[in-house]
Amino acid sequence: MRLSKLPDVGTTIFTIMSRRARELGALNLGQGFPDYDIDPRLAALVAEAMRAGHNQYAPMEGLPELRERIALKVRACYAVSADPESEITVTLGATEAIYSAIQAAVGPGDEALAFDPAYDSYEPAVRLAGGRCVRIALTPPDFRYDWERVRAAINERTRLVLFNSPANPACSVASAADLDELAAVVRDRDILLLSDEVYEHVVFDGLRHHSVLAHPELRSRSFAVFSFGKTLHATGMRVGYCIAPRALTAELRKVHQFNTFSIATPLQRAIAAYLTEQPDGWRELTPFFAAKRDRLRAALAGSGFSLPPAQGTYFQLLGFGEFAPPDDLAFAERLLTEAGVATIPLSPFYAAPVRMPFLRLCIAKRDSTLDEATQRLTAFAARLRYGDGR
């Protein structure tokens, strides 16, 4: 009997670091979730929906009123239309949208292209679909695309490109030119695109998020994936959605209906009502997280840690090349046990073994958490620089 379909896959680095942070009482800047409360109005709307009896199965594709609100939001953000009936599906977070889209698109012998450092759910989903994930590294420290390498990796087996902007954990944002390059790469080929846009509203320094939805050539072959966990600071609600052309949506729903079937009714009701009350709420996300990123960067300036550009997402990379060899697993362990700060090493996001001088910090934390963490990191850096006597 075959024991495992994913023999090399263990518990994710996020779960491991969060568990160890709890055990050690460390500050958790590792896993990407806010440590502050959600808007009490959203919590009230969830309770109201439950009290009003919205507690039975929702329609498989999502509540109509939520899909309507999503269509309005997409129009407001990207000036594009998406048909709630045939193009929008509510999913169990972006994670399920990614998984279901990959199962719908990839078959045995197919290849899917992903960019390292790649979000960790992509490759296992491709392999469970019988496909092979081909990984191309972005070029550090600013993690740009090498389109020559992408062109060289494409062949007649390539079925899907997994694209993520703003990118976790690279913190880079694809440009309009990148989307054009991508369109050129897949043009005249039977290749689909999965565009993971969960950080669509967290883009800094006057840059803009370029959604595939607003790129007509890419839109026609894309599953675009979004997360209310990220946009409502409520990662535990596990509600996301996928927007794709009618034919792709039909295939996605064939998987979705046997995967999660439908998503928690009271949560969908509440989110639809919340978006009706605050249709523009997403506009606050970039300034909110820009202030946190700037606070963290200012506090760490001069510490000896390097701070690569963070163009988007709610993360900031921390470079420790000044202090230690580029063994990120070992350095993350030291920060956890010696400085009391949990981070996420980057190497688990790579297919080939790499030695990275970078760790990922989550900035979606209370200012007091960020302040305490940066003090601990700065003090630890000083100990490394000057020895314990100082």
Ligand X SMILES: Cc1ncc(COP(=O)(O)O)c(C=O)c1O
Contacting residues toward ligand X, per CB under 6 A: 32, 93-95, 119, 164, 168, 196, 198, 227, 229, 235, 240
Name which of 251, 253, 361 is nearest 241 in CA terms: 253
Instruction: For residues 240 and 230, give the distance between their C-alpha atoms in angstroms, rounded to a whole number.
Output: 9
Please report which helix (H) or strand (E) contains residue 223, including its range: strand 222-227
Minimum distance of ligand X from residue 364's CB (angstroms): 10
Pairing mode, strands 341-342 and 27-28: parallel
**Residue labelled with tokens 């992408």:** 150
Minimum distance of ligand X from residue 381's CB (angstroms): 27
**227 or 378: CB nearest ligand X:** 227
**32 or 266: CB nearest ligand X:** 32
Q: Three-state SS for 7?
A: coil
Q: Three-state SS for 90?
A: strand
Q: Looking at beta carbons, which residue is closest to ligand X?
A: 93
**351 or 384: CB nearest ligand X:** 351
Minimum distance of ligand X from residue 111's CB (angstroms): 21
Q: What is the side-by-side order of every strand in the sheet holding 315-319?
A: 315-319, 358-362, 344-345
Minimum distance of ligand X from residue 232's CB (angstroms): 10
**28 or 95: CB nearest ligand X:** 95
Instruction: For residues 246 and 69, give the distance between their C-alpha atoms in angstroms, rounded to a whole number.
Output: 18
**159 or 238: CB nearest ligand X:** 238
**170 or 296: CB nearest ligand X:** 170
**39 or 48: CB nearest ligand X:** 39
**Residue labelled with tokens 């009290």:** 51
Instruction: For residues 297 and 84, give the distance between their C-alpha atoms in angstroms, rounded to a whole number.
Output: 41
**91 or 374: CB nearest ligand X:** 91
Contact 234, 42 (CB under 8 A): yes
Minimum distance of ligand X from residue 344's CB (angstroms): 11
Exposed (0-12), middle (13-18) or buried (19+): which is 48, by Cβ within 10 Å? middle
CA R_g for the chain:
21
Minimum distance of ligand X from residue 230's CB (angstroms): 6
Exposed (0-12), middle (13-18) or buried (19+): which is 326, by Cβ within 10 Å? middle
Q: Which residues contact 4 (CB under 8 A, 6 or more apart)?
A: none
Minimum distance of ligand X from residue 196's CB (angstroms): 5
